């Protein structure tokens, strides 16, 4: 009888060890699988900060950046509701839908990584110097070649904000060599006339992103991002950082008092206008900040409250080649409302 009890105790310990071992193996396999999927969200982008200016008949181009990517996002259905996990999420309680979608996104492989080819993008700013807007199909044709005349592509994308005369653009080329160190941007008119051939020799810098947390900026040189930075510096009284943001040669004479007012507590919108010259500086980008507020007298529902413009102020910026810097700020103009 004692021996039976001993056997039962040993057998119980053995079963316990097996359960612990099984749990350990399950956790280890889960950790390995999770690490694999986590790494599927890492992407690497090579960038080159260009600083080229091309003056055409009624348009000026500022070539700001060249990027190389050895990945592409996998094709998705046109309608997201056709994806199985979106269908499944729609059947869950609302509080569980977003966590479920995030979980499915984590355990996915959203990118196809390219071993022997790369995607090249030439990015910059287009300024329309004559009256009238730009439509993508009315603009010059831009193509990317390497130094051996291999053609990579001409896909052209635009970003434009209302009332601005500047356009952010990118020219995309595919199937480029990952070892590419020389390329040409060829610009033709719509009639086929050759306008410009720009040769570039990128000195690549590499940056890695975890897209679960951060994305590479679409247009890293967008001057609007600098306006947002100024907004936060002034609003939260970060005077030291704001001073660093002003071009050193104008700091002593900068009209600091103009930037001190309470309208920074408001929301704002605005638009850019390119100026060939301003106070001795060339290629100046003037941003008109339009301060706004909601009229809460008509409705308690914020979505139904009309928005009205209450004041305007201009910021003048130049690109030093390393960063955007403020050279002047105009007087505040209160608007009738």
CATH of the domain at 161: 2.60.40
Structure tokens at 176: 């480029």
Instruction: Tell me, yes or no, whether 156 and 23 share the same domain.
Output: no
Q: Is 316 exposed, middle or buried (0-12, 13-18, 19+ CB in 10 A)?
A: buried
- Which has the minimum average pLDDT: 12-21, 106-115, 215-224? 12-21
Q: What is the pLDDT of residues 170-214, one digit of tens each?
A: 998 888 888 888 898 988 887 778 788 889 999 999 999 999 888
User: Does any domain span residue 238?
Assistant: yes
Instruction: Tell me, yes or no, whether 175 and 195 share the same domain.
Output: yes
- In DSSP notation, 150-165 reads -EEE-EEEEEE-TT-S
User: Does any domain span residue 215?
Assistant: no
Mean pLDDT value of segment 141-146: 85
User: Does any domain span residue 203?
Assistant: yes
The structural domain count of the chain equals 4
How high does pLDDT run on average in the chain?
Answer: 84
User: Does any domain span residue 118?
Assistant: yes
User: Does any domain span residue 155?
Assistant: yes
User: In the prediction, which pLDDT does 9 show?
Assistant: 54
Instruction: Tell me, yes or no, whether 243 and 268 share the same domain.
Output: yes
Last-in-domain residue among 210, 243, 263: 210
Q: How far apart are CA 319 and CA 221, in angstroms?
A: 9
Instruction: Tell me, yes or no, whether 167 and 285 share the same domain.
Output: no
Q: Is the pLDDT of residue 29 over 90?
A: yes
Q: How far apart are CA 52 and CA 55, in angstroms?
A: 10
Structure tokens at 218: 């679409």
User: In the prediction, which pLDDT does 6 show?
Assistant: 46
User: In the prediction, which pLDDT does 314 show?
Assistant: 94
Instruction: Tell me, yes or no, whether 50 and 198 share the same domain.
Output: yes
Phi, psi at residue 93, to the nearest 5°? -60, 150
More confident residue, 324 or 7: 324
Strand partners, 264: none
User: In the prediction, which pLDDT does 151 show?
Assistant: 66
Instruction: Tell me, yes or no, whether 170 and 296 share the same domain.
Output: no
User: In the prediction, which pLDDT does 233 show?
Assistant: 84
Q: How far apart are CA 238 and CA 70, in angstroms?
A: 39
Instruction: Tell me, yes or no, whether 128 and 240 share the same domain.
Output: no
Instruction: Tell me, yes or no, whether 103 and 188 share the same domain.
Output: no
Structure tokens at 68: 């190389």
Q: What is the pLDDT of residues 78-109, one digit of tens each?
A: 777 778 888 888 888 888 889 888 998 999 99
Instruction: Tell me, yes or no, whether 103 and 129 share the same domain.
Output: no
Last-in-domain residue among 210, 231, 260: 210
Instruction: Tell me, yes or no, whether 56 and 145 share the same domain.
Output: yes
Coil, helix or strand for 147? coil
User: Does any domain span residue 218?
Assistant: no
Find the length of the chain: 337
User: In the prediction, which pLDDT does 297 show?
Assistant: 57
Last-in-domain residue among 210, 239, 262: 210
User: In the prediction, which pLDDT does 138 show?
Assistant: 67
**Can you give the residue range of the structural domain that contains 287?**
223-334
Phi, psi at residue 116, to the nearest 5°? -115, 15
User: Does any domain span residue 140?
Assistant: yes
Instruction: Tell me, yes or no, whether 201 and 258 share the same domain.
Output: no
Q: Is the pLDDT of residue 11 over 60?
A: no
User: Does any domain span residue 128?
Assistant: yes
Instruction: Tell me, yes or no, whether 100 and 233 share the same domain.
Output: no
């Amino acid at each position: 009888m004692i021996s039976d009890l001993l056997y039962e105790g040993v057998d119980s310990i053995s079963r316990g060890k097996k359960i612990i071992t099984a749990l350990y193996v399950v956790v280890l396999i889960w950790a390995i699988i999770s690490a694999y999927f986590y790494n599927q969200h890492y992407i690497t982008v090579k960038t080159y900060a260009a600083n080229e200016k091309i003056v055409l008949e009624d348009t000026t181009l500022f070539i700001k950046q060249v990027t190389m990517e050895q990945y592409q996002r996998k094709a998705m259905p046109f309608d997201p509701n056709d994806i199985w996990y979106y269908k499944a999420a729609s059947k869950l309680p609302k509080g569980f839908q977003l966590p479920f979608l995030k979980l499915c996104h984590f355990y996915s492989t959203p990118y196809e990584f390219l071993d022997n080819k790369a995607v090249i993008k030439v990015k910059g700013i287009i300024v329309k110097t004559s009256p009238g807007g730009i439509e993508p199909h009315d603009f010059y044709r831009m193509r990317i070649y390497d130094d051996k005349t291999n053609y990579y592509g001409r896909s052209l994308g635009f970003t434009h904000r209302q009332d601005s005369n500047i356009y952010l653009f990118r020219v995309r080329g595919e199937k480029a060599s990952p070892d590419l160190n020389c390329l040409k941007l060829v610009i033709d008119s719509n009639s086929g006339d050759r306008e410009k051939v720009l040769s570039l020799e990128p000195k690549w810098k590499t940056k890695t992103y975890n897209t679960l947390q951060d994305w590479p900026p679409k247009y890293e040189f967008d001057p609007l991002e600098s306006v947002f930075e100024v907004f936060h510096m002034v609003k939260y009284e970060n005077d030291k950082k704001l001073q660093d943001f002003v071009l050193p040669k104008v700091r002593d004479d900068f009209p600091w008092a103009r930037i001190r007012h309470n309208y920074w507590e408001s929301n704002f919108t605005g638009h850019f206008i390119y100026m060939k010259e301003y106070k001795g500086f060339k290629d100046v980008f003037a941003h008109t900040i339009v301060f706004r507020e909601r009229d809460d007298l008509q409705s308690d529902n914020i979505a139904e409250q009309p928005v009205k413009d209450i004041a305007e102020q201009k910021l003048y910026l130049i690109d030093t080649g390393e960063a955007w810097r403020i050279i002047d700020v105009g007087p505040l103009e209160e608007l009738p409302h």
